[in-house]
């Protein structure tokens, strides 16, 4: 993957090269690339004067960051106790069938990434599926494809409109 060095430099400059801005800079990079490319982390390290290992430690510490390419659309399903007993697993299974991926994987076209988490902190709404940051509570496997289609169409219409 080719990174645009000028964009990385501009990001670092925007935050004044402040070490405390590292997570924000990494978030901005991930928003653009859907993951943190190795070359981008190396450039951030150089420009901020931080050891590369320190940049990687931050990138690995936060679950929100990914060092592997992610899909354009991130789907997260809660499998905490409340969501699990209310049907979280069948939701994951339906997503797996619909997208032909397992949790932790990204579709070949890099359109979707499926992740599971232990808790989203909204147990009363369980089971919960999150598509691109939009929460869908009281989900059922039978509604997965419809919700997924609606969310993706809405996001892509906004991006193209």
Tell me the average pLDDT across 113-130: 94
The domains of the chain are located at 5-61, 73-160
**Strand arrangement, sheet containing 134-136:** 112-117, 73-78, 129-131, 134-136
What are 47-68's pLDDT values in tens digits? 999 999 999 999 999 888 999 9
Residue 1 has pLDDT above 70, yes or no: no
Confidence of residue 5 (pLDDT cuts 50, 70, 90): confident
Of the pLDDT bands very low, low, confident and very high (cuts 50, 70, 90), residue 17 is confident
- Report d(CA 137, CA 127) in Å as an integer: 6
Share the mean pLDDT of the chain.
91
Of 25-29, 102-106, 156-160, where does mean pLDDT reach its minimum? 156-160
Q: Is the peptide bond before 147 cis (omega within 30 degrees of 0)?
A: no
Bridge partners, 130 (sequence order): 76, 135
Peptide linkage before 132 cis (omega within 30 of 0) = no
Q: What is the pLDDT of residues 76-97, one digit of tens each?
A: 999 999 999 999 999 999 999 9
CATH class belonging to 73-160: alpha beta
Integer Cα distance of 133 and 154 in angstroms: 13
**Closest Cα partner for 137 from 91, 69, 70?**
91
Q: What percent of the chain has pLDDT over 90?
A: 73
Please tell me the pTM assigned to this model: 0.76
Task: Categorize the per-residue pLDDT at 147 as very low, low, confident or very high, splitting at 50, 70 and 90.
Answer: very high
pLDDT surpasses 90 at 157: no
Phi and psi at residue 77, to the nearest 5°: -120, 130
């Amino acid at each position: 993957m080719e990174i645009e060095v000028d964009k990385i430099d501009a990001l670092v400059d925007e935050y004044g090269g402040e070490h405390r801005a590292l997570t924000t800079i990494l978030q901005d990079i991930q928003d653009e690339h859907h993951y943190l490319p190795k070359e981008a982390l190396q450039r951030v390290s150089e420009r901020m004067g931080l050891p590369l290992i320190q940049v990687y430690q931050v990138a690995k510490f936060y679950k929100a960051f990914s060092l592997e390419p992610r899909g354009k659309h991130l789907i997260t399903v809660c499998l905490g106790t409340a969501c699990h007993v209310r049907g979280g697993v069948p939701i994951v299974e339906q997503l797996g069938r619909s997208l032909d991926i397992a949790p932790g994987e990204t579709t070949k076209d890099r359109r979707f990434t499926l992740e599971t988490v232990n808790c989203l902190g909204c147990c009363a709404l369980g089971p919960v599926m999150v598509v691109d940051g939009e929460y869908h509570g009281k989900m059922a496997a039978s509604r997965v494809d419809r919700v997924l289609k609606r969310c993706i169409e809405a996001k892509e219409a906004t991006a193209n409109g």
